[in-house]
Amino acid sequence: MNAASQSSEIERIRAGDMRAVARAISKVEDVSPDSAELMKQVFPLTGRGLIVGITGAPGAGKSSLVDKLALHYRKQGERVGIVAVDPSSPFSGGAILGDRIRMQTLGLDKGVFIRSMATRGNLGGLARSTVDAVSILDAAGYSKIIIETVGVGQDEVEVVKAADVSVVVLVPGMGDDIQAIKAGIMEIGDVFVINKADRDGVLSTEKELEALLSLATREDAWHPPIVKTVATEGQGVEELAAAIESYRDFHLRTESGLGRRRAIARWRILELLRERLVSQTLASDRASEKLEYLAGEVASRRRDPYSAVEELIGVGQ
Amino acid sequence: MNAASQSSEIERIRAGDMRAVARAISKVEDVSPDSAELMKQVFPLTGRGLIVGITGAPGAGKSSLVDKLALHYRKQGERVGIVAVDPSSPFSGGAILGDRIRMQTLGLDKGVFIRSMATRGNLGGLARSTVDAVSILDAAGYSKIIIETVGVGQDEVEVVKAADVSVVVLVPGMGDDIQAIKAGIMEIGDVFVINKADRDGVLSTEKELEALLSLATREDAWHPPIVKTVATEGQGVEELAAAIESYRDFHLRTESGLGRRRAIARWRILELLRERLVSQTLASDRASEKLEYLAGEVASRRRDPYSAVEELIGVGQ
């Protein structure tokens, strides 16, 4: 693509052209040759939207909550971007199925942009393409951008930590593992939601959570609020939006904000570095043939993975 | 470490010395300088143990199930290794807490080796160190090695796919997201467990699962069995062990087994490659100082992450 058409591409993104935005996200997902140049142009336009990360265990009702939060923002006249990460579904149509269901409630509204990001093969890059997609939406003037992740895996935690405000969704009485889950997500929640708050056990879950939160010491001395919601009914969504805003306000006022942005930037550079180095090493036909050959050697135990990698790095250079 | 002491180290591992095994796992976790050499020696000793991957959503009761399965194997005189992956807990003591609880039931038994693997910083490598730990246990003569992962993230799915037999644990009535979870894990389950099968809704969950499984087409034409368990009571654990063995037998008899081992080997090489390339690039003081500097630049929006990475790769080479 020549410079002229790329400049018009970034202009269309800046103007909020939904088709240009969708194409740009596909480019960063596919790591197309001009995606790096595009992102370099996108980056200076970012930093205006509020990025909200929402995570929690499967079954917690995150999707309903995200949809209702989006509707709330729409009523206030905001343009909303939703980026749903579905790392658990590398082959099936999980992510796409989710999109279709969503389209029924939000999809006809031109002020909402919905995109699911799924893994493509095992070269990684899902976390990187997700934050790139968020940057594109930010550059396109979406004032509220919600990242929704299923599960509690490492990549998903990182993606949610990369948001301005991280929301952790729990439900009452999720079973014995709840202590373990909570321990894992304590650090990342700026706001906690107990969804399905019309169910039994909401008070004991709230007490448990309060006890855990009182033990934690945050660098920024923020006390994460607990919001009770019934997402399917829209209950508590306004309170959630208010809690999100209050953390954002706090965050902007404190020194710790810069530290967090630095940590996010560092992580983002490392993700991109990892991807770049691997694709450089495997760029030649000879290197990718070597990879397939070595995979066969390791599979049949004629060689160990460590020796294989040393050989591969030798070929790539 | 000199050649002589390393050879005695591998001898102690081969002899099943628990302290040598624990030290070796710490080395691969810490990426200590001699860990690559150690793994090269470990690898030829592997391929004897049965590796079982167990995954499922938080709250599904995986830990209890794993403990009971381990007890079952112990009664048959097998030595059992358990590797628990806890990627959601990078800072807190989640993984360690889990260990302590476990130690009460299994820990005094010298025929069981339990180890939790947790993330250390954001350089990645959790999946790689987990499969390395499994190889070490395999080399040490543990005949059944169980990998337990919390959550449904990308890395965890990969780790479970790297097992000989992958078990997916569900519970009755987990809520609206269950379709999405199932869609994501359909491809990886060789055996399905409906745990907490004394709860309401077990029949409808079973029917739903059967319907989903009947839609899936596996390359190897295997029909994943569904086993109902009440892990806390030990119910159904023998049937689970039998289902695991039946898949192993099937797997060894079919052509598809080699394809799977190749895919696992390929993934394992790529994981290691990624880690090696990043650590090579950041090895010098100058490069790691540059990373910190660039993180600050990106955080304050004076530079974009893509340009930062290009500069970093220039410095590293």
* Chain A contact present for B141, CB below 8 A: no
What phi and psi values does residue B225 have, to the nearest 5 degrees? -70, 155
Mean pLDDT of A76-93: 72
Return the CATH number at A234. Answer: 3.40.50.300
Could you say which of B256, B272, B303 is where a domain stops?
Answer: B256
Report chain B residues whose CB lies below 8 A from the CB of A155.
Answer: 153-155
User: Do A269 and B298 make contact, defined as CB atoms within 8 angstroms?
Assistant: yes
Q: Give one DSSP letter per residue of A179-238, joined into a string.
A: HHHHHHHTTT-SEEEE-STTSTTHHHHHHHHHHHHHH---TT-----EEE-BGGGTBTHH
Q: How far is B241 from chain A (nearest CA, A)?
A: 23
Mean pLDDT of B167-189: 66
Could you say which of B256, B272, B302 is where a domain stops?
Answer: B256
Reported as a single tens digit per residue, the pLDDT across A248-289 is 999 877 777 788 889 899 999 998 999 899 989 999 999 999
Which is more confidently placed, B112 or B150? B112
Q: What is the DSSP letter of B230?
A: B
Beta strands, E only, A71-173: 80-86, 112-118, 144-149, 165-170
Strand partners, B117: B85
Q: Are residues A159 and A301 in the same domain?
A: no
Contact A26, A35 (CB under 8 A): no
pTM of the model: 0.80
Could you say which of B239, B256, B273 is where a domain stops?
Answer: B256
Q: How many helices (H) and strands (E) does chain A have?
A: 13, 7
pLDDT at A89: 45
Q: Are residues B117 and B226 in the same domain?
A: yes
Report CA dihedral (B277, B282, B284, B288) to the nearest 10 degrees: 180
Rounded to the nearest integer, the mean pLDDT of chain B is: 84
Q: Are residues B220 and B172 in the same domain?
A: yes
Is residue A17 assigned to a domain?
no
Q: Are residues B152 and B241 in the same domain?
A: yes
Most confident range (mean pLDDT) of A234-238, A299-303, B152-156, B272-276 is A234-238
Mean pLDDT of A5-31: 91
User: Do A262 and B153 make contact, defined as CB atoms within 8 angstroms?
Assistant: no
Is residue A274 assigned to a domain?
no
Among A87-101, B60-74, B105-119, name the one with the lowest average pLDDT: A87-101
Strand, helix or coil for residue A102: helix
Q: What is the DSSP letter of A155?
A: H
* Chain B contact present for A279, CB below 8 A: no
Reported as a single tens digit per residue, the pLDDT across A118-165 is 765 555 678 899 999 999 999 999 999 999 986 556 666 778 878 999
Mean pLDDT of B149-174: 77
Q: Are residues B53 and B99 in the same domain?
A: yes
Nearest to A92 among B47, B177, B187 (CB): B187
pLDDT above 70 (res B125): yes
Interface test with B, best of A154, A176, A279, A311 (most B CBs within 10 A): A154
Q: Are residues A296 and A193 in the same domain?
A: no
pLDDT at B89: 45
pLDDT above 50 (res A47): yes
Report chain B residues whose CB lies below 8 A from the CB of A154.
Answer: 87-88, 90, 119, 124, 126, 153, 155
Domain that holds residue B117: 46-132+141-256
Is residue A8 assigned to a domain?
no
Report CA dihedral (B182, B185, B187, B189) to the nearest 10 degrees: -100
Residue B294 CB neighbours (<10 A): 22
Is residue A291 assigned to a domain?
yes
User: Do B87 and A157 make contact, defined as CB atoms within 8 angstroms?
Assistant: yes
Q: Are residues A288 and A254 in the same domain?
A: no
Q: Are residues A50 and A174 in the same domain?
A: yes
Is residue A206 assigned to a domain?
yes
Question: How far apart are the C-alpha atoms of B152 and B55, rounded to whole Å?
Answer: 7
Amino acid identity for residue B265 in this structure = A
Nearest to B91 among A123, A187, A273 (CB): A187
Q: Count Cα neighbours of B183 within 13 Å in the Cβ-side half-sphere.
A: 20
Q: Are residues A232 and A311 in the same domain?
A: no
Give the count of domains, chain A.
2
pLDDT at A155: 66
Q: Count Cα neighbours of B110 within 13 Å in the Cβ-side half-sphere.
A: 4
Q: Are residues B197 and B244 in the same domain?
A: yes
* Vertex A110: Cα angle to A109 and A111 (nearest 5): 90
* Contacts of B242-250 spanning 24+ positions with Cβ under 8 A: B243/B191, B244/B50, B244/B52, B244/B165, B244/B167, B244/B191, B247/B165, B247/B190, B247/B191, B247/B222, B248/B50, B248/B164, B248/B165, B250/B220, B250/B222
CB < 8 Å from B in window 36-75 of A: 36, 39-40, 42-44, 46-47, 57-64
User: Do A269 and B294 make contact, defined as CB atoms within 8 angstroms?
Assistant: yes
Is residue B36 assigned to a domain?
no
Question: How far apart are the C-alpha atoms of B275 and A253, rounded to whole Å?
Answer: 37
Confidence of residue B157 (pLDDT cuts 50, 70, 90): confident
Strand order in the sheet with A80-86: A112-118, A80-86, A144-149, A50-56, A165-170, A191-194, A226-228
Report chain B residues whose CB lies below 8 A from the CB of A307.
Answer: 40
Closest-approach residue (CA) in chain B for A46: B301
Q: Max Cα separation, chain B? A: 63
Is residue B305 assigned to a domain?
yes
For helices A202-215 and A178-185, give the axis angle rounded to 10 degrees.
40
Q: What sign has the CA pseudo-torsion B247, B248, B250, B254?
A: positive
Interchain CB contacts (distance < 8 Å): A and B: 293
pLDDT above 60 (res B312): yes
Confidence of residue B58 (pLDDT cuts 50, 70, 90): low
Q: Are residues B292 and B170 in the same domain?
A: no
User: Do A186 and B92 make contact, defined as CB atoms within 8 angstroms?
Assistant: yes
Q: Are residues B189 and B95 in the same domain?
A: yes
ipTM of the complex: 0.85
Is residue A295 assigned to a domain?
yes
